[in-house]
Structure 1
Amino acid sequence: MGRILLVVRLALRDLRQRRTEAALLMIAILAATTTLTLGLVLREAASDPYESTRAATNGPDVVAHVARPTDLALLEELATASGVTAHSGPYPVIAGRLQAAGRTSDVQVEGRDATIAAVDQPEVTQGSWVSGGQVVLEAAFADALDVNVGDPVTLGGKSFTVAGVAVTAAMPPHPAASCIVTTGCVNGAIPQGRNLPARLLHNPGLVWLTQAEVRSLALTQGPMSYVTNLKLADPGDTQAFVAANSGALIMQTWQDILAEATDLAKDSQILLLIGAWLLGLLAIASLSVLVGGRMADQTRRVGLLKAVGGTPGLVAAVLLAEYLLVALIAAAAGLVIGALTAPLLTESSAGLVGSAGTPSLTWSTIGLVTAVALGVAVVATAVPAVRGARSSTVSALANAARPPRRTGWLIAVSTRLPVPLLLTLRLTARQPRRVVLGVVSIGVTVSGIYVLLALNTFLGDQPGTGAYSEAQVIVLRHVLGVWMGVLLALAAVNAIVITWATVLDNRHSSALTRALGATPGEMSTALAVAQVLPAFAGAVLGLPGGFALFAAINAITGGDGDRAVLPSLWQLLTLVVGTVFAVAVLTTVPACIGGRRPVTETLQAEPA
C-alpha cells in the first residue's frame, strides 16, 4: 500500500505542476469517450418513444395482412389461433393519392371504426378520431405535408376535412411505413433514369377513414387488402408464432416495426461509433506526442527518482499513473456528458409519442468506455514511459542535449537550402516517429471531414425524396455537427501539442543553433514549417482514406454508394489548402515562443 500511495502522490503532484498538459490530456480522452458513449446509448434511448407509443395505443405484437379479399378467411382463422389473446380487424385497406396544400402524395387508406379498438387504437395527438366525411392522418405524414387539423384534402376524387392527427405502433412512422396494400410500395429515392411501375406507391403515407368510406372509394381506386392486429400471450414469442402461422399471410412483428421506427437512431449510432474510433486514433496520437514531450521535459526528474532509489518499474509506474488517473476522470466525465447529450440527438419524430429522456447507463457501456479510455492511455504512454524509466541515471541527471542523427545525404541536401528550410529538414529528421504521428493525425482528420462533406451533400438531397424526412435530416445533421466539432477541436489540440513537444524536445539543439548565428525568426519559421510539411502529406493521404471510410460506412448502413455525391474537386483542393493553412496558424504561436526562448537559460541544466 505504501508503494501504491507513493506512486499516486507523485503522479498527483506532477499533474498539479503541469495543469496545461493535464487539461490537454483530458480533452483528448474526453472527446473519444463522450462520442463513444453517445454511440452506445443512442440505440437504447431512441427506443423509448416507440415503447411509449406502443403503450399508449395498446400496440399489436403481430400485424398480419392479406393481399386478396379471397384470403380474408385466413385472417379470421388467425384471430383464434393458439397464443392470441386479443385482436382488432380485419380492416380494409386501399391504395390512393392524396392532394393537400398543393402537393400530391401516395397513401395507404385504412378503414377503421369510430369506436375504440381492442388492439392498436391510434393515439390522437391533435383533433379527433375518424367520422363521416373526415380523415385522420398519421402524424409524421401530416408533418411532412405541413397539414393541420381542419385543412381540406382530396382523396380519390372526393373532398375530406382533416379531423385529426394520430400516431400508431402498428406501422413505422412516415417515410418508413410498411406496405399493406395490394399494389405494392417502394421507399427511398428513385434512381435517376428509372420510372416506377404503374400503381406502385412511392413513400406512401398512412391515413384513416371509416370502413364505409374506404369500401366506397374501393369501387374506383382498385382492389382492397385487409389487415389484422394481434396481441399474444407472450410478446417475446412473435417469431415462433409467425413461423407456425405463415403461408399466404404476410406478417410483421413488433420487433420488426421497432427496428424500422428507430432506423434513424441506428444510422446516428453508426456515425457516432465510427467517429469515436477516429477520435480514439487522434487521442492516441495526441497522448503519444504529449508523453514524448513530457519525457523531454522531465528527464532530470526521472534521474532524481532513480538516484534516490527508485527502480525502473517504480519510475515507469509513476509516469504511467498520471495518464491513467486522467483517463479515469475523462471516462467518467464522458459517460455523464454522453448520457445527458443523447436525448438531444434522439428527439422522437412526429410519428411517435414521448421523448427519449435520459438513458440509464448499463454496466456494459460503462465498462467498455472505461476500458477504451484506459487502453488509449496505456497504448500511448507505455513505450515512452518504459523507455524513460530505463534511461541512464547519469545521462538523465545531466539532461544533456540529444546527439543529432547524422545522415550524409541529408546534410548534403540541407546545406544548399535557405536557413529556415535547412533547420526544418533537420528538425524533421530528428523526430521521424513524431512526423509519422503528425501525418496520421492530419490524415485521420481529413478522412473524417471528407466523409462529413459527402454525408452532408447526401442529406441535402433527402427531404421529400429520400429515406429521411426533413426533421430526421435535422437530427442527422446535429450528429454530423457533433462529430465535426469534436474532430476539429481534437485535431487543433494535436497540432498545438505536436508543435510544443517539438519545441521542448529540441530546446537544447535550437539554443545551440541560435548561439551559432540563427535568428529567432528563422528558428520560429523552422519550427512552424516542420509541422506544415507533415500536415500537407497527411491532408493528401487523407483524401483516399476518406473515400475508403465513406465506402465502409455505406456498406455498413446498406446505402447506395452509386447515388452518393462525393466531394467535388474544388472542395477537395479547398480541404487540403485549408488544412495546411489551419495548421500553419495553430503552430505559429508555440513556434514563436519556442524560437525566442533565451539561449543562456535553455543551455543551463534544468533545476530539480
Structure 2
Amino acid sequence: MGRILLVCRLAVRDLRRRRTETALLLLAVMAATTTLTLGLVLRDASGQPYLSTRAATAGPDVVASVGQASNLAELEKLAAAPGVTGHGGPYPVAAAKLAVAGRTSDVQAVGRDAASAPVDRPELVQGSWAGGGGVVVEAAFANALSVRVGDEVTLNGRPYKVTGVAVTAAMPPYPGSSCVVPCMNGAGDDAPSGVLRNPGLVWVSQADALGLGADAYLMSLKLADPGQAQAFVEANRGVQAQAWTTILDDATDLAKDSQILLLIGAWLLGLLAVASLSVLVGGRMADQTRRVGLLKAVGGTPGLVAAVLLAEYVLVAAVAAAAGLVAGSLTAPLLTESSAGLVGSAVTPPMTLYTAVVVTAVALGVAVVATAVPAVRAARSSTVAALADSPRPPRRVGWLIAMSARLPVPLLLALRVAARRPRRVVLAVVSIAITVSGIYVLLVLDAFLTAQPLVGGYGSAQVEVLRHVLLVWTVMLLALAAVNAVVITWATVLDNRHSSALARALGATPRDVTTALAAAQVLPALAGAVLGVFPGGVALFAAISAITGGDSAKVTLPSPWQLGVLVLATVLVVTVLTSVPARLGARRPVTELL
C-alpha cells in the first residue's frame, strides 16, 4: 500500500485501541475550537437584529442635533447639503424625569405628532401613536421598567398615558441611547445637576415636548450613499451628528464585550489544550515504546514512525475542529439574544471560509506543537531499547536525595516522582495557574454584574447574556482543567510503573504509592493556584479591562477569604481527581510490572 495510506491506517487503528484517551484528546481540542468559533461568529450573528430594525423603520444614515432653537438653521443647512436625499424633522427634544410605580428614570422626550416620515419611522410593536397627553415608550426602555400600554406615568410631574411601545434605528436600544440633551451613560456616580444619567427614550406630541421645556432639536438624514455616513459627519462638525455605523456599534456593544471574553477564553482553553495534549502525548509515547520498536524492526524509518505518531493527533485535531465549528456556530445565537428594542433575532450566520480556516489552523497548530517533539524523540530512539521497553533510569540529584531521605515514605516518593519529570511539573503548574486565573476573572465579573442595575450600561436581559458567556467559560475551563489533572496523574502512573513497583517490592504499601502519586500532583497544584491568583488573575483582569476600555477601579475584587477558599478548593479538587487514577495504578501486581 502507499505510504500515506499506511500511515493513516496505523494511526486510526491505534486510536481505536485507545478510545478513552482519544475521547480526552477530542474533548481538549474541541473545547478550545468551540470557544474560538463563538468569538469569531458572535459579531456577525448579533448585528442582524439592528439591520432588520433599520430596514423596517427606514432608519436614518445620519442623526444630527443642536442645542438651541436659534441653531435650527444649522440643521436646515444639513438637510440641503450635497448627498442628502431625504430628512425627517427637526423634532424638539426635552430632558425629563419619568416616574412609574415608584420608580424614577431620566428620559429624552422627542416631540413627534406622527410616526410616519420619509426618514426614521418608529415601528409600533404595541398600541398606537401618542396624541396630546399620551406617550410612546421605546421598547427596551419599556421592558426595563415593565411598562405596558395603558399604564399611567408622569413626566416632570405631569400625568401621561402610555399609548404605545415602539422600536427605532435612530438610537441604540436602552440603556445605550445616544445623548441629544446633556447626559451620561454607564455606571458611575450620580450625574451632575442638569445632566441626565442613562436616559431612556420616549415620544410625545410636539406641543407636549415644548411644554416640557424642549431645549434641543433632532433631525434624521438619508444619504445617497449610506457608506459615506461617517465621512459626512466628519465634514459637518458644526453640529452634533452620529452615523448609522456608530449607532450599530453601540447597539452591538454587548456582542463586542461578549466576543472579547470568548476570544480570551479561547486562548486560555487553547493553552490548556496544549498542556493537556503535551502530557497525553508524553504518556502515550511511554506506553507505545514497544510499538515504536516493532514498527522500526519491520522496516519503518524514523520518519515513518514520527509520521504515524503525529498523524494520530492531527486526525483528532481535524475532527475536533469540525465539531467545534458546528457547535460554536449553533450556540452563537444563544449568546446574542436580541435586545427588546430591536426587531428580528440573532441567526446562525453562514460559516465563512475565514472562520473555518482560522479554527482549523489553531486546532492543527495545537496538535503539532504538542506532539512534534515527543514524536520525533520517540522515532529516533534505539530499536533494541524500544523493544526491550526498559525503564527510564532516574536522575540522581544529591540535594533532593538529602532533603527527601528523612521524609515519610509517601512524601519521599512524591518528591522523587516529581523530580523525574520536571517539565511535566511545569505543565501542571501552568495548567492550574491558567484555570485559577480564569476563575479569578469570573469571580470579579460576576460581582460586577451583580453589583447594581444598569451596571456598565447593561440592562437585565443583557446581563443574562453576559452570564451565559461566563457560564460557557466556567464549564469549559473547569472541564478541561479536570481532564488535565486526570491525564497528568495517569501519565505519571504509566511513567513511574517500574519505579513504583520497585518501591513496593522494597516495602512500600499500595497506599504509600497511591498517596505519593497523588501528592506529586497536589504540590504543583498548590503552587499553580497561588500563581493563578497573583500575578495571573490580576494580570488577566487588567488585560481584559484594557481591551474593553472598562474602569477596573470601579469593580470589587475578591476578598482575601474568597481567594483563600479558591486556593484550598483547587487543591482539594485536584486531590480528589488524582487519587482515582493513582489508586488504579497502584493496584497492579508488582511481579507483572517488574
> Could you say whether these structures have the same fold, taking a TM-score greater than 0.5 normalized by the shorter chain as the test?
yes
Q: Is the 8 A contact 1:462 1:473 kept in 2?
A: no
Which of 226, 235, 239 pairs up with 2:230? 239
Q: How does 1:459-474 map to 2 (within 5 A)?
A: 459-474=449-464
How far 1:246 moved relative to its partner? 2.7
Give the structure 2 partner of residue 367 of structure 1: 357
**CA shift digits 1:311-349 (9 cap, x unpaired):** 111111100000000000000000000000000010011
1:227 equivalent to 2:218? Answer yes
Match of 1:320 among 303, 310, 314: 310
The Cα shift of 1:172 comes to: 0.7
In the other structure, the counterpart of 1:520 is: 510
- From 274, 279, 284, the equivalent of 1:289 is 279
Matched to 1:117, the amino acid is A
Residue aligning to 1:78: 78
Matched, 1:540 2:530: yes
Contact 1:38 / 1:338 at 8 angstroms: preserved in 2?
A: yes
Partners in 1 of 2:407 and 2:543 — Cα distance?
A: 43
SS in 1 for 2:121: coil
| SS of match in other structure, 1:179 | coil
Work out whether residues 35 and 273 of structure 1, in 8 Å CA contact, stay in contact via their aligned partners in 2.
yes
> 1:200 aligns to what?
195
Quote the offset at 1:240 in angstroms. Answer: 2.1
Q: Which moved more, 1:231-240 or 1:274-283?
A: 231-240
CA contact (8 A) 1:92 1:225 kept: yes
How far has the Cα of 1:130 moved from its partner? 1.7
Equivalence for 2:593: 602
Q: How does 1:27-426 map to 2 (within 5 A)?
A: 27-114=27-114, 116-181=116-181, 184-191=182-189, 195-218=190-213, 223-247=214-238, 249-426=239-416
Instruction: Give the TM-score, by structure 1 length.
Output: 0.96
Partner residue, 1:500:
490
CA–CA distance in structure 2, aligned partners of residues 596 and 470 of structure 1:
54
1:582 maps onto 2:586 in alignment: no
Contact 1:137 1:164 in 2 (8 A): yes
| Superposed displacement of residue 128, structure 1 | 1.5
One-letter identity of the residue aligned with 2:82:
S
**C-alpha separation between the residues in 2 aligned to 1:245 and 1:190?**
32
- Mapped partners of 2:237, 2:524: distance in 1: 62
Structure 1 residue matching 2:392: 3-state secondary structure: coil
Residue identity in the other structure for 1:19? R
The worse-fitting range, judged by mean Cα deviation, of 24-33 and 71-80 is: 71-80
Tell me which residue corresponds to 2:9: 9
Letter of the 2:133 counterpart: G
Aligned 8 A contact 1:32 1:280 in 2: yes
Query: Equivalents in 2 of 1:409, 1:486: separation in Å?
Result: 40
SS at match of 2:340: coil
Alignment partners' CA distance in 1, 2:148 and 2:130: 15
Q: Secondary structure at the match of 2:132?
A: coil
Q: Which residue number corresponds to residue 606 of structure 1?
A: none
Counterpart AA for 2:69: P
CA-CA distance at 1:118 after TM superposition: 1.2
* 1:571 aligned to which of 562, 568, 585: 562
Alpha-carbon distance, 1:115 to partner: 5.2
Contact 2:183 2:199 in 1 (8 A): yes
RMSD: 1.1
Residue 216 (structure 1) shift = 2.3
Aligned residues: 593
Deviations 1:517-570 (A, max 9, x none): 211111111111111111001001111100000001001110111111111111
Distance in 2 between residues matched to 1:262 and 1:502, nearest whole Å: 48
Q: Report if aligned partners of 2:186, 2:454 keep a CA contact under 8 Å in 1.
A: no
* AA aligned opposite 1:351: G
Provide, for residues 333-384 of structure 1, a one-character-per-residue CA deviation record: whole Å limited to 9, x for no partner.
Answer: 0000000000001001111111101111111111100000000001110111
For residues 177-222 of structure 1, the C-alpha deviation after alignment (integer angstroms, 9 at most, x for no partner) is 11112xx10111224xxx532111011000000112212222xxxx
- In structure 2, how many angstroms separate the alpha carbons of the residues matched to 1:141 and 1:243? 30
| Matching residue's letter, 1:185 | C
Does 1:427 find its partner at 2:417?
yes
Which residue identity lines up with residue 210 of structure 1 in the other structure? S
Equivalent residue of 2:212, what SS?
helix
- Residue 244 of structure 1: how far off its partner (Å): 2.7
Q: Which amino acid aligns with 1:430?
A: R
8 Å contact 2:404–2:415 — kept in the other structure? yes
Match of 2:551 in 1: 560
Among candidates 442, 447, 453, match of residue 443 of structure 2 = 453
Alpha-carbon distance between aligned partners in 1 of 2:204 and 2:447, rounded to the nearest angstrom: 39
**Other structure's SS at 1:77 match:** helix
Separation in structure 2 between the aligned mates of residue 594 and residue 157 of structure 1, nearest angstrom: 76
Amino acid in structure 1 at the alignment position of 2:568: V
- Percent of pairs with identical residues: 72
Determine helix, strand or coil for the equivalent of 1:105.
strand
CA deviations on 1:70-113 (whole Å, 9 max, x unpaired) are 11012112112111111110111111111111111111000112
Task: Please give the secondary structure, in 2, of the residue aligned with 1:165.
Answer: strand
Contact 2:175 2:454 in 1 (8 A): no
Distance 1:488 1:209 in 2: 52
Q: Say if 2:230 and 2:245, in contact at 8 Å, map to a contact too.
A: no
Q: State the distance in 1 between where 2:455 and 2:565 align.
A: 29
- Amino acid in the other structure paired with 1:315: V
Give, in whole Å, the separation in 2 of the partners of 1:117 and 1:130: 15
Deviation track 1:151-190 (CA, whole Å, cap 9, x = no partner) reads 0000122111101111110001111111112xx1011122
Check conservation: 1:91, 1:111, Cα contact below 8 A: yes
* 1:84–1:232 contact (8 Å) kept in structure 2: yes
Q: Counterparts of 1:130 and 1:389 in 2: how far apart (Å)?
A: 79
* Greater Cα shift, 411-420 or 429-438: 411-420
* Pairwise CA distance, 1:466: 4.0
Moved over 6 A (4+): none
Alignment-mate amino acid for residue 211 of structure 2: S
Unaligned runs of 5+ in 1: 604-608
- C-alpha distance in 2, partners of 1:338/1:158? 50
Distance 1:461 1:600, change over 3 A: same
Query: 1:48-91 CA deviation, whole Å, 9 max, x = no partner?
Result: 11001101111000001111111101211211211111111011
Which shows bigger deviation, 55-64 or 455-464? 455-464
Q: In 2, distance between residues paired with 1:196 and 1:137? A: 23
Unpaired runs of 5+ residues, structure 2, are none
Moved more, 359-368 or 195-204: 195-204
The superposition leaves residues 389-429 of structure 1 with CA deviations (integer Å, 9 ceiling, x where unpaired) of 11111100000111111111211222211111111111011
Does the 8 Å CA contact 2:88/2:221 hold for their aligned counterparts?
A: yes
After TM superposition, the score normalised by the length of structure 2 is 0.98
Match of 2:457, SS? coil
Task: Name the SS of the counterpart of 1:59 in structure 2.
Answer: coil
Query: Which residue number corresponds to residue 519 of structure 2?
Result: 529
1:465 is displaced (CA, Å) by: 4.9
Q: Secondary structure at the match of 1:149?
A: coil
User: Alpha-carbon deviation of 1:481?
Assistant: 0.7
